[in-house]
Structure 1
Amino acid sequence: MLKDIIANKKLIAKLAKNDFKQKFAGSTLGVIWAFVQPVITVLVYWIVFDKALSAGSQGTREGIKAPFVLWLSAGIVPWFYFSEVLSAGTVVLQEYNYLVKKVVFPINVLPVVKAVSSLFVHGFFVLFTLVIYLLYGFGITPYILQVIYYSLAMMILVVGLIYLSSALCVFFKDMAQLVNIFLQVGIWATPIMWNFDDMLDKIPLWLAYLLKLNPMYYITSGYRDCFIARVGFWNRPLLTAYFWIFTVIVYLIGTHVFKKLQPQFADVL
């Protein structure tokens, strides 16, 4: 599959561009909606947690403090990408069923198309977050370049999940609803609105370890390392090793199931 992805990179880029445009075709504001909704979401969470609930400044493991809006932005930007890609990617075969039924079309690139399509918005929000940090007086350091690494790591993780969920969704339509429920629970199981370090003395040790097994814990913490703590991913060796072992296993399982079920896709769709 990696060979097919590399061989069809131009096709993927073209389909991703068209996919991004098609999401908002016919609406008055067009692609502007892709940026409006996440901004509104951040504003709502900021008002609720910072203003209404007085969350205040949040700290990192290194003791560096940041205003809640900055701390929240660094954690929620990768979640926007992850949730959008997983949700849209699960039904990608139904959406592109006319391509799936073409014998000569390499349908195993379709999950990657969804992941690439959402990179346009993700890139904008990384820059948007960077501007907010600059306005608050946080300087730019070389550690910000790690966002590329964490974005790539997240993309590989979600593509592996999409290969699995999209293949199963062809035969089990409720998979899309299960994924949406998973994402609703996942945003609260991931330390995005709450600080993991502040919870350590309030939850059992086994639950703390369980929460750390969430691969998005590594990603959201990594983004905060880039923007706030200014720590390299090599300083988190155990977490980094666990994340990549988990991601590789998910990718191998996902691609195996996809290839196993692929001959039946056209008949079912």
Structure 2
Amino acid sequence: MLKNLVTERKLIRTLAKNDFKTKFAGSYLGIVWALVQPIVTVLVYWFVFQVGLKQTDTSAYHGYPFILWMLAGLVPWFYFQEAMTGGTNVLMEYSYLVKKVVFKIEILPMVKAVSALFIHTFFVCVAVVLYSCYGKFPGVYGLQILYYSFCMFVLASGICYAASAVAVFFRDLLQIVNIILQVGVWATPIMWDLQSIGLPGIVAKIFKLNPMYYIVYGYRDALINKVWFWERPGLTLYFWGFTVLMFLIGTRIFRRLRIHFADVL
């Protein structure tokens, strides 16, 4: 499967571009809609927390305004959310390709993961510009965003292989994934800081088992804390152990079920 992903990389890139374009085909604003919803979400959270709940104490966020601190967590979450919802439904969406005997359907979950990178890249650039406007340019530490984006890409891809395969036989899985993502945005320390709320040690460790904790705090390390990823060896080893295992399990489930995809669809 990995060999096919490498040899078909040009096809994956082409399909990802088409997937991104056709998602908004026929609408007057086109791909602008891909930007509107995340921007509105950021503004709503900013208004609720900073204006409504008066989250103005910058000392709790390492001297950074709350909007910048929150944005560092929301940017990776937007990618993960887009990749998961699109990846879970990808085999149903591209059922006409699944039914083609000669088409290598194992590239389809990867198409959604790559497609979500386009809008993610835009928001990373927006975040860097916004930080710079506040006089908080991330500097050389910001290069770690490439590393953490790759981490998130591999994590989302592995989960999508399993989810897309199971969703063919259990269509309710997409709704379950949406609910998990709704809960996950609050279970992941994005709008709140795990260190500052004083949770008991065992509870804090449970939250850190969430692999997106590593990604969210990785983005904050790159943009705010100025910490290199190798300075957190325990979390790094755990994340990659979990991610590689998830990728192996996901691709194995996909291979086991793929012979039934065309018949069910």
- TM-score of the superposition, structure 2-length normalised? 0.98
The letter of the residue matching 2:104 is P
Tell me which residue corresponds to 1:42: 42
Deviation at 1:37, TM superposition (A): 1.0
Tell me which residue corresponds to 2:51: 51
Contact 2:82 2:116 in 1 (8 A): yes
Q: Is 1:93 aligned to 2:91, yes or no?
A: yes
Distance in 2, matches of 1:40 and 1:59, equals: 26
> Pairwise mapping of residues 1-269 of structure 1 onto structure 2 (< 5 A)?
1-58=1-58, 64-199=62-197, 201=198, 203-269=199-265
Deviation at 1:139, TM superposition (A): 2.5
Instruction: List gaps (5 residues or longer) in structure 1.
Output: none
Distance in 2, matches of 1:100 and 1:3, equals: 19
Instruction: List gaps (5 residues or longer) in structure 2.
Output: none
- TM-score of the superposition, structure 1-length normalised? 0.97
Contact 2:128 2:137 in 1 (8 A): no
Deviation at 1:58, TM superposition (A): 4.8
For this pair of structures, how many residues does the alignment match? 265
Aligned identity (percent) is 56
Contact 2:97 2:103 in 1 (8 A): yes
Distance in 2, matches of 1:168 and 1:211, equals: 27
Contact 1:58 1:195 in 2 (8 A): no
Deviation at 1:57, TM superposition (A): 3.9
CA RMSD of aligned residues (A): 1.1
Contact 1:144 1:226 in 2 (8 A): yes
Distance in 1, matches of 2:99 and 2:227, equals: 48
Deviates more, 1:65-74 or 1:133-142: 133-142
Distance in 2, matches of 1:134 and 1:113, equals: 32
Contact 1:16 1:117 in 2 (8 A): yes
Distance in 2, matches of 1:57 and 1:66, equals: 9
Deviations 1:67-102 (A, max 9, x none): 000001101000000011101110100000000000
Deviations 1:182-227 (A, max 9, x none): 101100000000011112x2x3322111000000000000000111
Deviation at 1:59, TM superposition (A): 5.3
Deviations 1:33-58 (A, max 9, x none): 11111111101100100011011245
Deviates more, 1:138-147 or 1:17-26: 138-147
Residue aligned with 1:197, SS: coil
Distance in 1, matches of 2:210 and 2:62, equals: 24
Distance in 1, matches of 2:263 and 2:125, equals: 44
Residue aligned with 1:66, SS: coil
Deviations 1:1-21 (A, max 9, x none): 111110000100100000000
Deviation at 1:140, TM superposition (A): 3.6
Distance in 1, matches of 2:253 and 2:162, equals: 6
Contact 2:138 2:224 in 1 (8 A): no
The letter of the residue matching 1:94 is M
Structure 1 moving runs of 4+ over 6 Å: none
Relative to structure 1, the CA distance from residue 268 to residue 58 in structure 2 (aligned partners, 3 Å threshold; closer, same or farther) is: farther
Residue aligned with 2:196, SS: helix
Relative to structure 1, the CA distance from residue 268 to residue 122 in structure 2 (aligned partners, 3 Å threshold; closer, same or farther) is: same
